[in-house]
Structure 1
Amino acid sequence: MKVHIHELSTSDYAHVIALARRSLSDPVDERLIRRLLAAEPAARPELHVAAWRGQHLIGVALGSVRRHDDLLTGGPRLLAVDPAWQRRGIGARLLSELEQRLQAIGVHELRVGNLAPNYLWPGVPETNLAMQALLAQQGYELAGETLNMTVELNGRDWLAGIDPKQWSIRRARYGETDLAAWAGERWGAAWQWEAMQAVSVDPPTALVAERDGEYGGFACWDVSGFWGTFGPTGVDEALQGHGLGRTLLCATLAAMASAGYRQIEISWVGPQAFYTRIAGARPGRICLLYRKPVTSLAGPIERDLPQRQP
């Protein structure tokens, strides 16, 4: 029986969830995979493609498009193949199909990693040697790396000694879209999307620093990455250097501990020394970033994009 590549439909989501559970090394659940599928900003359904053998889903590629300044970029936020079908060229076929579809909508550069928001890993985990080999085979070049850090939450009172310096630290309100807009004005569309995700669940997964009705900073968790991921967090530039970031970090870690997390991951870390000093964070997984110029493809495709019928 042949393997066919088709566009996903919403009726296929249960198959994708089951495939992710079989094929990913990190634990996933239905809610996490549905976020990855359905919450995609500026979603393009034609970029969700899957490999089928009869009625059995054996591989999937979920594509994203992001704009960085004037550069339209895109690539897979998830590429997964059933373990029983790995090393048979399924991943290469899915990636090539996704590349052609991205080229058809005008993407200038192909990326694997560096496609925030709505990701599981910031890039390719350095332990995923099979994915690295596939990307090298497909002509991708290494473009950098990111670091995640881990924090043990047990055995520490995260609220001890916090001095908010006249700032009120509170949980964001459900549907508090003003917070998302404020974050977007200062840090861009990716953080706006992540803050919106945080206030779209009840209870929200964000804390804010507020004084006289004005925001000074915020911190989120469980908005990108796997469950138990801290970030993003930011403090207004005019208020930095006065301990508000430390207060938000510790208050958020206390909230995550209360939610039942024993260990958390800080994704896509910038200030490593800060997280080590304040939270005792340790280096965790390294993720590799890849890119490939669209000019290396054969040329734009001009064909209908098939959709599998439910």
Structure 2
Amino acid sequence: MSFKISHFSKEKLAELTVFMNTNHGLDNFTAKLLNEKIFDDPDFNTDLTVCSTCNGKLTGFGMAVLRQDGLGFIKLIAVGKDSRERGIGRAIYQVLEERLKIMGCRSIRVYNSNPNYLLPGVDPRYTPALCLFNSLGFRRYGETLNMSVDLKKMKFQTSVNEKKLLKSGVSITRAKLSDGERLISFMQSVFPLWVHEVKKMLSNDIITVFIASKDQEIISFAGYDGNNIGAGWFGPMGTHTAHRGMGIGSLLFRICLKDMKKKYRKAVIPWVEPVCFYSRVSGAEVERLFWLYQKEI
């Protein structure tokens, strides 16, 4: 089977959507989601976005990005089920690695390409992907997981705790456009890795980030629909270290879930570390496991 690797263009987005839903079955794809993952990535590079075709038919897709810190990421790589074991995935990867190397990249990770990422790692149920990355010399250096909350079963009573915090001078509101400048300033100072996602939340038709303020200063935030928009992803969230231990974060989390319930049946909490916190506050359960891979080049 002969195949050709070439640049991927936006005109192929509809075909890629069908291709991904057919061949990447643990995830659901829309053209809007793929457009966000590919063309809306802040580091999108045409040379790092390729596809393979055979007789005009899409047989594979691969995308990489080089972040500002010089770390490269494979954002997504997929091969058609009827085209596997023919070297397509390896060929796509080798093209991306060589181009990343020319750009100065010396280390590549797989999928966890914060701030714009589809998955926080490789789901081990995608066994062909595991085998590919192992054969390419990647080493597994850790794991992470996603949790989920069944929103239709939950009742989120927040008014009592909001009043308690208000007595201590802390108010919680949905961010407004007029809050944008000071919120981004807060993010750049305290949580710089999440600036991109918060900007996305501020740009949604209905703003999807909530803030806690004291003495007119933002001290905490939480939001959703900042990444994988339309898929019901919560986060990120964070509280300034000087104001932790007051229950602000857990309250913001529940306020977000209450707001998400208007739109989604389920909330996904990705890339989780404090598993017990989310379980205690919302009854969240572990939904998916991901393995983390890296390769020095």
Task: Answer whether contact 1:147 1:269 (CA < 8 A) is retained.
Answer: yes
Equivalent in 129, 153, 173 of residue 155 of structure 1: 153
When structure 1 is superposed on structure 2, of 190-199 and 7-16 the one drifting more is: 7-16
C-alpha contact (below 8 Å) 1:175/1:200 kept by paired residues: no
For residues 15-64 of structure 1, the C-alpha deviation after alignment (integer angstroms, 9 at most, x for no partner) is: 32232222222112121111101211122221111112233222111111
CA contact (8 A) 2:235 2:269 kept: yes
> Structure 1 length normalisation: TM-score?
0.87
Give the alignment of 1:1-310 within 5 angstroms. Answer: 2-25=2-25, 26-68=27-69, 72-160=70-158, 162-164=160-162, 165-166=165-166, 167-174=170-177, 177-178=180-181, 179-188=183-192, 190-225=193-228, 227-259=231-263, 261-294=264-297
| Partners of 1:109 and 1:292 within 8 A in 2 | yes
RMSD of aligned C-alpha atoms?
1.9
Q: CA–CA distance in 1 between the matches of 2:267 and 2:213? A: 25
Distance 2:236 2:160 in 1: 20
> More deviation in 29-38 or 220-229?
220-229
Give ranges in structure 2 of 5+ residues lacking alignment.
none
Secondary structure at 2:261's aligned position in 1?
helix
One-letter amino acid of the counterpart of residue 103, structure 1: K
- Structure 1 runs of 4+ aligned residues shifted over 6 Å read none
- 2:89 maps to a residue whose letter is G
Task: State the alpha-carbon separation in 2 of the partners of residues 180 and 6 from structure 1.
Answer: 38
Q: Offset of 1:175 from its aligned partner?
A: 8.1
1:195–1:220: 8 Å Cα contact kept in structure 2?
yes
Question: How far has the Cα of 1:193 moved from its partner?
Answer: 0.6
Give deviations 1:72-119, integer Å, cap 9, x for gaps. Answer: 211211112222222322111111111111111000101113321211
Aligned equivalents of 2:64 and 2:128: distance in 1? 19
Distance in 2 separating the partners of 1:174 and 1:37? 27
Aligned-partner residue type, residue 10 of structure 1: K
Separation in 2 of the partners of 1:208 and 1:55? 50
Which letter maps to 2:132? L
CA distance in 2, matches of 1:127, 1:184: 37
**Among the aligned pairs, what percent are the same residue?**
30
TM normalised by structure 2 equals: 0.91
Quote the offset at 1:134 in angstroms.
Answer: 0.6
Are the aligned partners of 1:149 and 1:267 in contact in 2 as well (CA < 8 Å)?
A: yes
- How many residues are matched? 289
